[in-house]
Amino acid sequence: MKVLMAMSGGVDSSVAAALLQQDGHHVVGVTMRLWGGESDTGCCSVSDVDDARRVAQQIGIDHLVFNFSEDFNEQVVQPYIAAHAEGTTPNPCIECNRGLKFARLTERADALGFDAVATGHHARLVANSYGDMRVHRGADDAKDQSYVVHMLAGRELQRTLFPVGNMTKAEVRKEAERLGLRTASKPDSQDVCFITSTGGRETFLGDRIPFHPAKVVDMAGNQVGEVDSVEMVTIGQRRGIGLYKTEEKRFVVDVDTANRIVVVGSDADLMRTGVALQAMVWASGEAVAGEYRVQCSAHGASLPCTAEILSDNRVQLTLHEAHRRIAPGQSAVLYDPSDSYVVAGGLVNAASAWPASVGATA
């Protein structure tokens, strides 16, 4: 089989490429040049491209570089900036997976005559009793990445490979050491590639959108502080919210960028039993109401819930137990009741949650 292997320059994709080649596939490595600006974190640095190229040389496969920087700017960076201006909290890595690392890469693979696309994600693809592929959790619970690849559906599911999904991270590194790969001890990428460690999110956004001051009010509407930039505030935030007094622990419960108001409250005021989702992607292609488990962050625990199907590709979830409010713009992923495989995923709606107790506000 002819496989286009996405190589980020990390140990997972390095080992994935080596395993495919050992299995007799015709493997070509490709590194996507995404962010053209300054980068000292994430997976887009010049050194990462060099690491991927050298690993490809080590294992004896060809290596290509695709310049998707315009697509990355349009589909990831600009939406990220716009989301903060609107008061929502985006997940750029998920949008990069959605638009670039799978959709765009699969298009290029088709054009070049490849049979499949592979990545180093820690997830597994398993066929159900009908022969349809589903994204299952990776073998390593601590490194499971099924959440961040939840958008795979239809033909993309049938043409994607996750060669290290059945391995633990320790096993991946051990295999890299056995093969003598230069990435064997390379640390995992943790940060957004276009946000530098020196400047941070505030510098990046401040160079691109105007910041506006906002009043900080309590649950009764009394002003208790002020912030310099409402665009930098997110649901659940505790530090840096400009409170006049700090005797009590207070968290951001709501952000109104239009009226420049930040609402703070106790941890209990954050608790919610409902989450509204939009832009749903169903692995089967069909929206089905029922009992599921929902995961609302990359490494958070999943919670039991009931899903009600609404119009316009929306879903209303009722959580079986109260959970801290999820910031609008974040992804929520539905798993089957046994918590094994992805059923669907969507974005948390801004008007998403009803309170777990009387007196709290959404």
- 178: alpha, beta or left? (left if phi > 0; alpha if psi -120 to 50): alpha
Residue 46: the pLDDT is 73
Which of 43, 93, 96, 305 is an active site residue? 96
* Each residue's pLDDT tens digit, 120-143: 999 999 998 888 899 999 999 999
DSSP state, residue 41: S
Alpha helices by DSSP H, listed for the chain, are 11-22, 46-59, 69-72, 78-86, 92-96, 105-112, 155-158, 169-179, 200-206, 267-270
| Residues with Cβ within 8 Å of residue 173, at least 6 apart in sequence | 11, 184, 185
Pick the CATH number of 2-179 from 3.40.50.300, 3.30.390.10, 3.40.50.620, 3.90.76.10: 3.40.50.620
In angstroms, the CA 202 to CA 303 distance is 32
Residue 190: the pLDDT is 66
Which of 43, 44, 193, 296 is an active site residue? 193
Q: pLDDT (tens digit, 0 to 9) for every residue of the chain, 362 residues total?
A: 999 999 999 999 999 999 999 999 999 999 999 887 666 555 656 788 899 999 999 999 999 999 999 999 999 999 999 999 998 999 999 999 999 989 999 999 999 999 999 999 999 999 988 888 999 999 999 999 999 999 998 888 889 999 999 999 999 999 999 999 999 999 887 678 888 878 889 999 999 999 999 999 999 999 999 999 999 999 999 999 999 987 789 999 999 999 999 999 999 999 999 999 999 999 999 999 999 999 999 988 999 999 999 999 999 999 999 999 999 999 999 999 999 999 999 999 865 544 544 333 33
Amino acid in position 180: G
**Class for domain 210-265, per CATH?**
mainly beta
* Each residue's pLDDT tens digit, 334-358: 999 999 999 999 999 865 544 544 3
User: CB–CB of 300/331 below 8 Å?
Assistant: no
DSSP state, residue 300: P
Note the CATH number of domain 271-348.
2.40.30.10
- Residue 43 is a catalytic residue: no
Q: CA 146, 16, 153 angle in degrees (round to 5)?
A: 35
Domain ranges of the chain: 2-179, 210-265, 271-348
- Residue 96 is a catalytic residue: yes
